[in-house]
């Protein structure tokens, strides 16, 4: 156990092997960043549409911030939580904490009171840094109301208008910069960042990552995506406080020596402008974001010549959307299967379109090895469907203060059990087939939402498609298909859309009973489609569709054939 009390559930001999093989640099993330500053001090480190920070400027701000943290009593092992819109502040806080041997615990804006209390309590945060407001919410006021129940929380910092009892983030940058010889020796095996993941549990959970796993794991993933590391310019559409956004500071800056491009919040028109003005090589986002951008006519008039690839992760993307995005963005497409739990597999630019459409890529053992196991945790041969398990240099240390999840999802050899289903083909490519916990069970029949969503999204008028369960007294659950359509197109009726699904090969016992049209799918703080919110909305909705309508559609199709 290290000074923070966090255990590493990957056996020490396995980690040591990754050090000996050179996969891990065996240096702290702050050391790696300082090496990049020495190489190119004037290079752009973090760029937005409003501001540019060079490597040398960022290092100076980091040294000032670290000095302020030290004067406030922050020591190695302390947790600094923050909830901020995307900006260079993310990178400065991450690096200042890494320099002191402290741990950052960022989470995206938009988390409500209950989630915020759970997150701060679970990680024993000593510091919280927030924007003064988010939308109409007074975030500081919410934190103050939670403070009596958060025994570890001692230091409140606000980015924005100052208030009584709070330190101003801007004032923390005014300290005299700490000298490098006054910084502690930081073991790269120590934890440095907690990644947030809601997963399938009711409460969000924290997962601890070491300097090793972020540099030699998540950083090395970026290097495989873009081997010419220092020319990398990554535009992050999702919050940097998410697991998907976790490669920005320590992957792009500390490992690659590239440039982080950040937008305060995702917006289609702002993103298109950023592509034209900031010249990203790669754009990171979730499928819904790319679907919206690809459907906007303005993208066709934007200079996209800098783009090498868009990287889609966070959720599985359907075949039709991949084709539309490839055509609209006019660059390569990388489909990423990954998670905060330490899973990583993705397609590459050398893969054919056919491979990208149907496979998840070939696992890279230098980042993450993948096995397929049966219900007895025995490894299965290629071609057989089972649960996906993963372990590699990217593997985190453990769940934070959550031994129940460690017992459920980790084994004694450090392998992570994902709950996802898939198989490895003869060429070693991973093919996803579903998620054990996302199955809709209707009258004892297991229905995969992904299958229906993929077919629905292939309709030429559909931008996005999501299936959610609707509680039913007789069958347990029924299926509601939620669609976002292109502007100005006719909305098919349930009967008409059912015909389309049947024509595309969907079995009639998997047809949705309900159809709902939305202007946009609701997104959670991480940028993914918020299926829980959709399901909650459906509970109170009055549906006009009935199973009888579906039966009529099936009957019509049977007569037509």
Spatial separation of the C-alpha atoms in residues 54 and 425, rounded to whole Å:
45
Q: Where in the chain is the domain with CATH 3.40.50.12780?
A: 1-43+53-210
Long-range interactions of 55-61: CB distance < 8 A, separation 24+: 55/253, 58/88, 58/91, 58/92, 58/95, 58/253, 59/33, 59/34, 60/177, 61/88, 61/92, 61/173
CA gyration radius, the chain: 24
Which part of the chain has CATH 2.30.38.10? 365-436
Tokens of 36: 């990049």
Query: Mind listing the pLDDT tens digit of every residue in the chain (561 residues)?
Result: 677 789 999 999 999 999 999 999 999 999 999 999 999 999 999 999 999 999 999 999 999 999 999 999 999 999 999 999 999 999 999 999 999 999 999 998 887 787 899 899 999 999 999 998 777 778 999 999 999 999 999 999 999 888 899 999 999 999 999 999 999 999 999 999 999 986 544 567 899 999 999 999 999 999 999 999 899 999 999 999 998 899 999 999 999 999 999 999 999 999 999 999 999 999 999 888 999 999 999 999 999 999 999 999 987 888 999 999 999 999 999 999 998 999 999 999 999 999 999 999 999 999 999 999 998 999 999 999 999 999 999 999 999 999 999 999 999 999 999 988 999 999 999 999 876 667 787 866 668 788 899 889 999 999 999 999 888 777 778 899 999 999 999 999 999 999 999 988 787 888 999 999 999 888 877 677 888 888 888 776 655 444 444 444 444 444 444
CA–CA distance, 514 with 539 (Å, rounded to integer): 12
Q: Contact at 8 Å (CB) between 77 and 211?
A: no
- The predicted pLDDT at position 532 comes to 80
Pairing outcome for strands 44-47 and 52-54: antiparallel
Which residues have a Cβ under 8 Å from the Cβ of 367 and sit 6 or more positions away? Answer: 217, 220, 221, 224, 344, 392, 393, 394
365-436: CATH topology is Luciferase; domain 3 (2.30.38)
Q: In 3D, which of 374, 382, 327, 371 has the Cα closest to residue 353?
A: 327
Give the tokens for residue 203. Answer: 């409460």
311 forms beta bridges with 284, 334
pLDDT at position 445 is 65
In 3-state terms the chain splits into helix, strand, coil percentages (rounded to 5) of 35, 25, 40
Report the C-alpha dihedral over residues 449, 452, 456, 457, rounded to 10 degrees.
50
Tokens for 465? 């498609």
Report CA-CA distances (Å) from 70 to 111, 175, 294.
28, 11, 46
How much is the pTM? 0.83
DSSP state of 43: S
One-character DSSP codes across 260-317: EEE-SS--HHHHHHHHHHH--SEEEE-HHHHHHHHT-GGGGGS--TT--EEEE-SS--
Angstrom CA distances, 387 to 390, 431, 432, stand at 10, 12, 10
Q: Which class is domain 439-560? A: alpha beta
φ, ψ of residue 227 to 5 degrees: the values are -60, -30
Q: How far is CA 431 from the centre of its chain?
A: 20
Domain 1-43+53-210 is classified in which CATH homologous superfamily?
Answer: ANL, N-terminal domain (3.40.50.12780)
* 513/479 Cα distance (integer angstroms): 6
- What residues have CB less than 8 Å from 526, skipping those under 6 apart? 108, 196, 198, 238, 239, 242, 243, 244, 286, 314
Q: How far, in Å, CA of 277 to CA of 270, rounded?
A: 10
Contact in structure between 242 and 526 (CB atoms under 8 Å): yes
For tokens 């029924």, the residue is 478
Report the 10 Å Cβ neighbour count for 343: 21
d(CA 521, CA 537): 12
- For the chain, residues classed under CATH 3.30.300.30 are 439-560
């Amino acid at each position: 156990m290290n000074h923070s009390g966090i255990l590493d559930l990957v056996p020490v001999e396995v980690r040591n092997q990754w050090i000996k093989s050179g996969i891990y640099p065996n240096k702290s993330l702050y050391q790696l960043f300082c090496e990049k500053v020495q190489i190119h001090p004037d290079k752009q480190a973090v760029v937005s549409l409003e501001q540019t920070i060079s490597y040398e400027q960022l290092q100076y701000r980091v040294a000032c911030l670290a000095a302020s943290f030290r004067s406030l009593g922050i020591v190695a092992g302390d947790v600094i939580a923050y909830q901020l819109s995307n900006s260079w502040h993310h990178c400065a806080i991450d690096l200042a904490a890494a320099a002191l041997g402290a741990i950052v615990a960022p989470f995206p804006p938009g988390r409500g009171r209950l989630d915020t209390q759970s997150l701060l309590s679970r990680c024993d945060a000593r510091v919280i840094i927030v924007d003064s407001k988010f939308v109409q919410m007074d975030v500081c006021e919410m934190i103050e109301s939670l403070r009596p129940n958060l025994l570890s929380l001692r230091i409140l910092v606000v980015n924005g208008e100052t208030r009584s009892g709070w330190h101003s983030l801007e004032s923390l940058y005014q300290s005299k910069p700490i000298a490098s010889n006054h910084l502690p020796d930081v073991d790269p095996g120590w934890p440095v960042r907690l990644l947030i993941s809601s997963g399938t549990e009711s409460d969000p959970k924290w997962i601890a990552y070491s300097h090793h796993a972020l540099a030699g794991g998540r950083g090395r993933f970026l290097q495989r995506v873009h081997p010419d590391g220092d020319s990398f310019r990554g535009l992050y559409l999702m919050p940097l406080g998410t697991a998907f956004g976790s490669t920005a500071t320590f992957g792009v800056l500390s490992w690659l020596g590239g440039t982080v491009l950040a937008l305060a919040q995702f917006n289609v028109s702002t993103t298109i402008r950023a592509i034209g003005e900031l010249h990203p090589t790669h754009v990171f986002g979730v499928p819904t974001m790319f679907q919206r951008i690809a459907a906007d006519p303005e993208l066709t008039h934007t200079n996209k010549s800098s783009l090498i690839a868009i990287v889609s992760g966070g959720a599985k993307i359907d075949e039709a959307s991949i084709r539309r995005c490839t055509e609209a963005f006019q660059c390569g497409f990388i489909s990423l299967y990954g998670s905060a739990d330490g899973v990583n597999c993705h397609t590459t630019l050398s893969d054919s379109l056919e491979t990208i459409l149907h496979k998840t890529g070939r696992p890279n053992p230098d980042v993450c090895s993948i096995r397929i196991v049966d219900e007895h945790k025995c490894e299965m041969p290629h071609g057989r469907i089972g649960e996906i398990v993963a372990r590699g240099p990217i593997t985190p240390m453990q769940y934070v203060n959550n031994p129940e999840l460690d017992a459920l999802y980790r084994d004694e050899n450090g392998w992570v059990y994902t709950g996802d289903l898939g198989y490895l083909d003869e060429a070693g490519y991973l093919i996803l087939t579903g998620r054990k916990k996302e199955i809709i069970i209707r009258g004892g029949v297991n229905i995969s939402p992904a299958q229906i969503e993929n077919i629905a999204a292939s309709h030429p008028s559909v931008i996005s498609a999501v299936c959610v369960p609707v509680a039913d007294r007789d069958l347990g659950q029924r299926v509601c298909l939620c669609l976002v359509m292109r502007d100005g197109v006719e909305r098919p009726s349930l009967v008409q859309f059912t015909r389309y699904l049947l024509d595309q090969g969907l079995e009639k016992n998997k047809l949705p009973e309900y159809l709902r049209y939305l202007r946009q799918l609701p997104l959670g703080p991480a940028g993914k489609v918020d299926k829980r919110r959709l399901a909650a909305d459906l509970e109170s909705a009055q549906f006009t569709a009935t199973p009888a309508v579906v039966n009529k559609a099936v009957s019509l199709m049977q007569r037509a054939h």
